[in-house]
Amino acid sequence: MDYVFPPPPVPSLAIRGSEQRFAVRRIFCVGRNYAEHAKEMGADTREPPFFFAKPADALVPDGAVLPWPMATSDLHHEAELVVAIGAAGRNLTPEAAGALVWGHAPGIDLTRRDMQAEAKQMRRPWDMSKGFDQSAPCGALVPVSETGPLSAARILCTVNGQIRQDADIADMIWDVPHIISHLSGLVELAPGDLIFTGTPAGVGPILPGETCRVEIAGLGAVGVRIG
Ligand code: MN
């Protein structure tokens, strides 16, 4: 193939205990998936899940030092369970959806909260408040073959060692099979897709020089420092 410039590198995630990497196709994210977080953002708690997306090249690995993002003065952390999809599927029932899970990882849905608040007020899209450069820190994937389906695990977010978010993924409004089921009715899922599954209560700002770390029991952690 004769490209006019070299194709960009394939975004990918490390896999715990393996030299192989998981090639990433798309990144979908769930909005408001924990009742306490939905309340803190002023929303009703039992609506169907809704989705937004980040570019696959927004991924950053554990240990990265990120420059302060452009065009914000209110960068927020959102600690999230990330689900990696390993098989194709569309219009799946929750019972069938679980079979698409390849693995899990801890992730951070970095958010330009000031820009998102303005987008909400103006009824504009969230793309620029959510899908900016380096907005998707994600740790190494742990294969589901090692953990089994994940329905409960403590999820913890610290900033400079201080606990900001402390919850359990069992408290998600929509669990992983239901999230995949809903999403598979909107797009055909494919191997390499990632789903950030929403954040519990306690979101807040990260300041320049601070380190944000998200840990999920059994999956390890992802930490980034804002330069
Ligand atoms: Mn989120």
Cβ atoms < 10 Å from Cβ of 220? 16
Question: Rounded to the nearest whole angstrom, what is the distance from the C-alpha of residue 108 to the centroid of ligand 1?
Answer: 8
Which of the pair, 42 or 63, is modelled with greater confidence?
63
Query: pTM, whole model, 2 decimals?
Result: 0.97
Phi, psi of 58 (to 5 degrees): -80, -5
Q: What tens digit of pLDDT does each residue of 124-161 get?
A: 999 999 999 999 999 999 999 999 999 999 999 999 99
Based on the structure, what is the number of domains in the chain? 1
Question: Rounded to the nearest whole angstrom, what is the distance from the C-alpha of residue 155 to the centroid of ligand 1?
Answer: 14
Q: Is the pLDDT of residue 8 over 90?
A: yes
Question: Rounded to the nearest whole angstrom, what is the distance from the C-alpha of residue 46 to the centroid of ligand 1?
Answer: 17
Does 111 map to a domain? yes
Question: Rounded to the nearest whole angstrom, what is the distance from the C-alpha of residue 89 to the centroid of ligand 1?
Answer: 23
**Residue that the structure tokens 């715990």 belong to:** 16
Does 53 map to a domain? yes
What per-residue confidence (pLDDT) applies to 43?
Answer: 77
Question: Rounded to the nearest whole angstrom, what is the distance from the C-alpha of residue 33 to the centroid of ligand 1?
Answer: 8
What per-residue confidence (pLDDT) applies to 41?
Answer: 84
Q: Is the pLDDT of residue 101 over 90?
A: yes
Cβ atoms < 10 Å from Cβ of 43? 12
What per-residue confidence (pLDDT) applies to 36?
Answer: 86
Does 217 map to a domain? yes
What per-residue confidence (pLDDT) applies to 96?
Answer: 98
Does 4 map to a domain? no
Question: Rounded to the nearest whole angstrom, what is the distance from the C-alpha of residue 39 to the centroid of ligand 1?
Answer: 14
Does 124 map to a domain? yes
Question: Rounded to the nearest whole angstrom, what is the distance from the C-alpha of residue 122 to the centroid of ligand 1?
Answer: 20
Does 1 map to a domain? no
What per-residue confidence (pLDDT) applies to 44?
Answer: 64
**Rounded mean pLDDT, 78-85:** 98
Does 7 map to a domain? no
Q: For strand 75-77 and strand 27-31, is the pairing parallel, antiparallel, or unpaired? A: unpaired
Question: Rounded to the nearest whole angstrom, what is the distance from the C-alpha of residue 132 to the centroid of ligand 1?
Answer: 13
**Rounded mean pLDDT, 29-56:** 88
Residue range of the domain that includes 188? 12-226
At 45, the pLDDT band (50, 70, 90 cuts) reads: low
- Kindly report the CATH number assigned to the domain that includes residue 69: 3.90.850.10
**Rounded mean pLDDT, 173-199:** 97
Question: Rounded to the nearest whole angstrom, what is the distance from the C-alpha of residue 29 to the centroid of ligand 1?
Answer: 6
Does 189 map to a domain? yes
Question: Rounded to the nearest whole angstrom, what is the distance from the C-alpha of residue 36 to the centroid of ligand 1?
Answer: 13
Question: Rounded to the nearest whole angstrom, what is the distance from the C-alpha of residue 80 to the centroid of ligand 1?
Answer: 7
Apex 185 CA angle, 116 and 197, nearest 5: 45
Q: Single out the residue of 184, 200, 210 nearest to residue 66, CA to CA.
A: 210
Residue 72's H or E segment, with its range, is none
Question: Rounded to the nearest whole angstrom, what is the distance from the C-alpha of residue 205 to the centroid of ligand 1?
Answer: 14
pLDDT averaged over every residue in the chain: 96
